[in-house]
Amino acid sequence: MENKNSENLRVGFHSIEMLLKICPENIKQIFIPTNRNDERVLNLISIAKKLSVSVERKKSLTQHPEAILKNEISLGLSELKKYEVSIQHDNPTFLVIDNVIDPRNLGACIRSAAASNIAGVIINKHHCSPITPLVRQVSAGGTEAIQIFTVTNLINALKHFERLGYFILGTSEHANSMHTELDLNKPTLVIMGSEEDGVREKTLGKCSQICTLSKNQTINSLNVSVATGVILFEIARQKLI
């Protein structure tokens, strides 16, 4: 599946169901496995037909449906700046992905980001997995539900948010402060890196503060997608208080 690297391709029920929910007009065609007539497939076909989206059976598919989009728009730093201006009053949170190269981990991080209802995800283009069909599938519709911005110079992006007064939070198992000890009820960028290498030192240097998510003396590092969920839902909890 991962060799299908067309930017306009979507694979899996979650992604296609989310597309039908938020932007059905951008779906060119949906393809359904010929051998599937279960309730989920029939429900997908029914929704698509009600929205006048073309559906076709495809013999080469055996399990997951696919969709082809009419347009795929790539969002970068300039779009990020405009978007931030439009939501400044909402006390926004952004997730920054700095060093996650495993597409499954990236997809799971984006799923947590979408589920925690943050403003958007910022991906460091040269130090992360790209948004592949596998990333989209693992995100379970998250890549469709949340704004994702890919930047070529992460440090410049962080400087921009620093000037705006955002709290830039880095994560490291070597930090002294726990995330639960911090005041996170403010415009925040939280930066996540891989469990192997963590956030790059250069990126950590731009942080307002660095925190850890666990003080367990035996095992204090979490899978990056688990860690992302932990920190984002703590931020969401504080902002609801």
User: What are the strands of the beta sheet with 209-212, ordered from one edge?
Assistant: 147-151, 120-124, 93-99, 188-193, 167-171, 209-212, 177-178
Q: How do residues 74-121 score in pLDDT, each as one tens digit?
A: 899 999 999 999 998 899 999 999 989 999 999 999 999 999 999 999
Q: How do residues 49-74 score in pLDDT, each as one tens digit?
A: 999 999 999 999 989 999 999 887 78
- Residue 13: the pLDDT is 92
3-class secondary structure per residue, 90-125 = HCCEEEEEEECCCHHHHHHHHHHHHHCCCCEEEEEH
* Spatial separation of the C-alpha atoms in residues 59 and 147, rounded to whole Å: 33
- Residue 3: the pLDDT is 40
- For 103-225, where are the E strands, in sequence order? 120-124, 147-151, 167-171, 177-178, 188-193, 209-212
Predicted TM-score of the model (pTM) = 0.85
Contact 30, 70 (CB under 8 A): no
Residue 1: how many other CB atoms lie within 10 Å: 13
3-state secondary structure of 31: strand
15: closest CA among 69, 70, 94, 62? 69
Going by the DSSP 8-state scheme, the letter that residue 127 receives in this structure is G
Q: How do residues 181-209 score in pLDDT, each as one tens digit?
A: 999 999 999 999 987 888 999 999 999 99
Confidence of residue 137 (pLDDT cuts 50, 70, 90): confident
24, pLDDT greater than 80: yes
Higher-confidence position of 95 and 10: 95
Residue 183: how many other CB atoms lie within 10 Å: 8
- Residue 241: the pLDDT is 61
Where b means 16+ CB within 10 Å and e means fewer, 186-218 reads bbbbbbbbbbeebbbeebbebbeebbbbeeeee
8, pLDDT greater than 60: yes
- The average confidence (pLDDT) of the chain is 91
Across the range 18-27, mean pLDDT stands at 92
The percentage of the chain sitting over the pLDDT mark of 90, rounded to a whole number, equals 74
3-state secondary structure of 184: coil
- Residue 89: the pLDDT is 85
Domains of the chain, earliest start first: 9-69 (3.30.1330.30), 77-240 (3.40.1280.10)
Residue 75: how many other CB atoms lie within 10 Å: 17
- Residue 53: the pLDDT is 95
- Residue 196: the pLDDT is 81
Cα 136 to Cα 26, 109, 131, 188: the distances in Å are 16, 11, 7, 25
2, pLDDT greater than 50: no
- Residue 176: the pLDDT is 86
User: β-pairing, 177-178 with 209-212?
Assistant: parallel
